[in-house]
């Protein structure tokens, strides 16, 4: 079945990439900055050891879902009135450019509004993953937090093999091992940074004596739930035709309602007790901390908007270019966050962290087909998973329902990179020459 694909201009793609970098960096930086805001005993005469900082990961999770809900609003507005730069396409958003006809699979069943409940399960995974990451961020530097999220590729790869019947090449399995090594080195770097604590007085909190290993463990555990979320999302989108921006909005609504319901339920049985009062599940206390401190509520607004814009730009990049391109840009975002946090004096430079980051990026690039291992490793040959050998350029690669999830993580089979396509094109010629 043929379909029409419209590729945005280079200028539009450039703006989307810049927006993804700026909004993605702002989201992580402002979340960490919000964690450092004093909400009690903040006076100059108060004992600094009694100062209390904003530590409400559940409310931060709710803020994230508010941002995702904005995606639904943006989708409706763009499709109805505000899409000034696009030509209308049935069922979605398109940027005006040249038309290219490609062959693809039969269209999946169009998703109805009543089917939005399907996104409740990935929303629950998102709640658990985001909450664990928000708690972990309290104990580790923001750059370590961002780098540890690179472990997501590992879990998505494993789960796609187990539950989506994907196939990984030998090089991709080795790349996952490189990613694991990089994650371990970054985690070790966080222990070194703990011996050289930040000079920022706002960073002091009740949890300052907690080992950064707790934060590392929570962030890594969160990646299991996030990977589950992406795999479930991909399964849904294999059977239902839905724009990723609309899917993010549906998930935002499901997640926001579930988070608020769960928060008040936990508050009723735990947060309101003596043991839970003033903690993560004290809903009224967290709400008052937000509305009574300008630095907190204003940051919440910025975080929600940055999440909405990051989702929009990221999904647009994935659809316009490829998921592998998005993974490359996301690595640049991690580097930018690290540079900003160093410039702000929130953390010290640790060379071990550089090594871990390089391994993370290299493993991710190899896994996504952007780079290849050296020839002497024996892993140089680029096998294209999920495609028969006699049809190396099978059009299924262009079926984005099989290559990306709403979170933008590429799962095998991937959209071929230029290196993969050139290799696939030359394989039949080499075979003929050998015969």
Q: Domain of 76?
A: 2-434
Mark the ranges of the chain whose per-residue pLDDT is less than 70.
1-8, 81-109, 194-209, 318-319, 321-328, 380-435
Cα three-residue angle 89-93-97, rounded to 5 degrees: 75
DSSP state of 387: S
For the chain, the residue count is 435
- Cite the DSSP H helix spans in 44-167: 57-77, 120-137, 142-148, 152-163
Q: What is the pLDDT of residue 405?
A: 43
pLDDT of residue 194: 65
> What does the pLDDT read at residue 432?
41
Q: What is the pLDDT of residues 222-265, one digit of tens each?
A: 999 988 988 888 788 778 887 778 888 888 999 999 999 999 99
**CB atoms closer than 10 angstroms to residue 196:** 11
> Global pTM?
0.74
| pLDDT for the residue numbered 3 | 47
DSSP of 195-254: TS----GGG--TTTTS-HHHHHHHHHHHHHHHHHHHHHHHHHHHHEE--HHHHHHHHHHH
CB atoms within 10 A of CB 309: 21
Phi, psi of 102 (to 5 degrees): -130, 160
What's residue 324's pLDDT? 58
| Helices of type H across 240-322 | 244-266, 283-291, 294-320
Domain total of the chain: 1
């Amino acid at each position: 079945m043929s379909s029409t694909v419209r590729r945005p201009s280079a200028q539009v793609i450039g703006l989307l990439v810049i927006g993804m970098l700026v909004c993605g960096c702002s989201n992580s930086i402002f979340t960490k900055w919000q964690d450092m805001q004093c909400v009690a005993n903040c006076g100059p005469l108060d004992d600094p050891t009694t100062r209390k900082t904003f530590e409400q990961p559940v409310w931060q999770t709710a803020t994230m879902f508010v941002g995702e809900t904005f995606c639904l609003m943006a989708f409706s507005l763009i499709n109805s009135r505000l899409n000034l730069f696009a030509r209308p396409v049935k069922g979605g958003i398109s940027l005006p450019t040249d038309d290219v006809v490609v062959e693809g699979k039969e269209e999946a069943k169009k998703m109805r509004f009543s089917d939005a409940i399907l996104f409740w399960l990935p929303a629950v995974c998102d709640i658990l993953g985001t909450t664990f990451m928000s708690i972990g961020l309290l104990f580790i530097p923001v750059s370590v937090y961002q780098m540890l999220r690179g472990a997501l590729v590992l879990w998505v790869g494993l789960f796609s093999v187990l539950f989506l019947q994907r196939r990984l090449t030998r090089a991709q399995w080795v790349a996952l091992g490189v990613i694991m090594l990089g994650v371990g080195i970054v985690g070790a770097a966080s222990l070194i940074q703990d011996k050289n604590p930040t000079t920022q007085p706002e960073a002091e909190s009740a949890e300052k004596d907690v080992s950064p290993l707790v934060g590392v463990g929570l962030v890594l555990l969160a990646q299991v739930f996030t990977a589950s979320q992406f795999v479930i999302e991909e399964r849904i989108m294999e059977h239902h035709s839905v724009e990723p921006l609309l899917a993010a909005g549906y998930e935002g609504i499901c997640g926001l309602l579930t988070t608020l319901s769960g928060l008040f339920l936990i508050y009723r049985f735990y947060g309101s007790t003596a043991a839970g009062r003033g903690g993560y599940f004290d809903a009224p206390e967290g709400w008052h901390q937000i509305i009574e401190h300008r630095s907190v509520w204003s940051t919440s607004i910025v975080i929600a908007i940055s999440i909405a814009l990051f989702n929009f730009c990221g999904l647009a990049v994935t659809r316009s270019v490829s998921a592998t391109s998005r993974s490359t840009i996301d690595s640049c975002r991690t580097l930018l966050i690290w540079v900003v946090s160093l410039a702000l004096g929130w953390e010290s430079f640790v060379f071990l962290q550089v090594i871990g980051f390089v391994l993370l990026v290299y493993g991710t690039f190899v896994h996504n087909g952007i780079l290849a291992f050296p020839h002497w490793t024996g892993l140089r040959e680029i096998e294209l998973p999920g495609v028969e050998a006699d049809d190396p350029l099978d059009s299924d690669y262009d079926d984005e329902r099989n290559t990306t999830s709403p979170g933008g993580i590429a799962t095998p089979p991937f959209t071929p990179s230029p290196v993969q396509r050139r290799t696939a094109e030359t394989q039949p010629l080499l075979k003929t020459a050998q015969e």
